[in-house]
Amino acid sequence: MSKLMNLTGNIVDIFDLQKEDISAEVIILGACRINRFLGQTKYAYPVAAHLIGGYRYLEYIKASKTLMKQWLIHEAFESYSGVDLPSPLKAELPLYKEAEKRALKVIAETFGVEPVESDEVKALDIAIMVSEALMLMPNNDYWWQFANEKGIEPIGGYAVVEQSLCSDEKRLKDTLTSIWNKVFSETKEDKEEICSSCHGDGEYEVSAGTHSFFTKCKCQTN
């Protein structure tokens, strides 16, 4: 068991997180204080900046609320483990990877995110990481080669958060909190996104005399 205390005063087992352990406050604070790239950047670049940069891009392309929710929680386990492990290191720590996978499922259930993750968010994560690295780290040739090998096109500097915001913890926290509340609050428009025929199930029941059958909803062909 790996029991650690967080800001709420709760002592949680990060290898066995429960829904009652999950708090947006803990996730946001951790994201503001944990740096990416092991802190080896031109200026301190916290996980919160990564989330804000990705949200800016998703908002620009008018992505769905589901993608935005998946994006905001995809690094949430780090706020409980206390570290943003680079992928090469994480690959050597199977117990950590398994704990992260379990925790992400619990976090998603807590905040009503379904499905937990998507290929789009995974690709965006890599694209933004490369964009960040190109601006914040040395050896651009290495990162361009990495991007080419992955078949990823960097998004550009507008997805990289400015130093003035990164270095102002209160403003950074307020910005991420505002985004979080906006994305996770259900509005009338959100409810209207759910098809009135199939209620989001993708198919609906049709009656024909004494028989009934399920047919694919028109919303699935849009």
Task: Kindly tell me if the per-residue pLDDT of 165 is higher than 80.
Answer: yes
Residue 197 has pLDDT above 80, yes or no: no
d(CA 160, CA 49): 7
pLDDT digits (tens, 9 = 90+) for 81-94: 999 999 889 999 99
- Peptide bond between residue 115 and the one before it cis (omega within 30 degrees of 0): yes
With respect to CATH, is domain 3-185 assigned 3.40.640.10? no
Residue 193 has pLDDT above 60, yes or no: no
What DSSP character marks residue 203? E
pLDDT given for residue 194 in this prediction: 47
Domain ranges for the chain, please list them.
3-185, 191-222
pLDDT given for residue 13 in this prediction:
94
Q: Kindly report, residue by residue over 40-76, the tens digit of the pLDDT.
A: 999 999 999 999 999 999 999 999 999 999 999 999 9
DSSP symbol at 19? G
| Across 117-126, 148-157, 193-202, least confident range | 193-202
- pLDDT of amino acid 191: 47
**124: closest CA among 183, 64, 175, 176?**
64
Q: What Cα–Cα distance (Å) separates residue 167 from each residue in 32, 137, 162, 171?
A: 10, 17, 9, 9
And the tokens for 143? 């990162």
Question: Which is more confident, 200 or 179?
Answer: 179
- Written as one letter, the residue type at 89 is L
**pLDDT tens-digit readout, 203-217:** 544 433 333 334 445
Nearest to 15 by CA among 74, 82, 81: 81
196 has a pLDDT exceeding 50: no
How confident is the model at residue 1, as a pLDDT?
57
